[in-house]
């Protein structure tokens, strides 16, 4: 999972993962999406969107919003769930010199 913009929050007993993706828009707002991910031995993965458009004006605020949402969905997992901050993808043009 490290090759894409995902950060694992926790692993469920069945081996599926709860992951978060954080992105920054051109306008400077940040948004997060939560996914359920099944990673197979050949490194292929299947994702199911749990929530998206958890946005805020700062990166940490968006991630905290997503974390709070995940806690409401999985309250028994609070102790094992990774807390913010998470990875962030600055966008496709972030590394280009202009």
- pLDDT one-digit tens code per residue, 32-82: 999 999 988 888 989 999 998 788 999 899 999 999 999 999 999 999 999
Q: Would you kindly state where each structural domain of the chain is located, as residue ranges?
A: 7-77
* Residue 78: partners with Cβ closer than 8 Å, 6 or more residues away: 71
Is the pLDDT confidence value at 2 over 50? no
User: What does the H/E/C string look like for the chain?
Assistant: CCCCCCEEEEECCCCCEEEEEEEECCCCCEEEEEEEEEECCCCCEEEEEEEEEEEECCHHHHHHHHHHHHHHHCHHHCCCCCCCCCCCECCCCCCCCC
Q: pTM to 2 decimals?
A: 0.81
């Amino acid at each position: 999972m490290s090759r894409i913009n995902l950060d694992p929050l926790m692993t469920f007993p069945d081996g599926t993962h709860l992951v978060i993706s954080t992105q920054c828009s051109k306008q400077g707002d940040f948004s997060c999406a939560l996914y359920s991910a099944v990673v197979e031995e050949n490194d292929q993965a299947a994702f199911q969107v749990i929530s998206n458009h958890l946005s805020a004006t700062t990166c940490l605020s968006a991630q905290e919003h997503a974390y709070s949402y995940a806690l409401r969905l999985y309250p028994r997992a609070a102790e094992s769930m990774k807390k913010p901050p998470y990875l962030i993808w600055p966008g496709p043009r972030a590394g280009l010199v202009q």
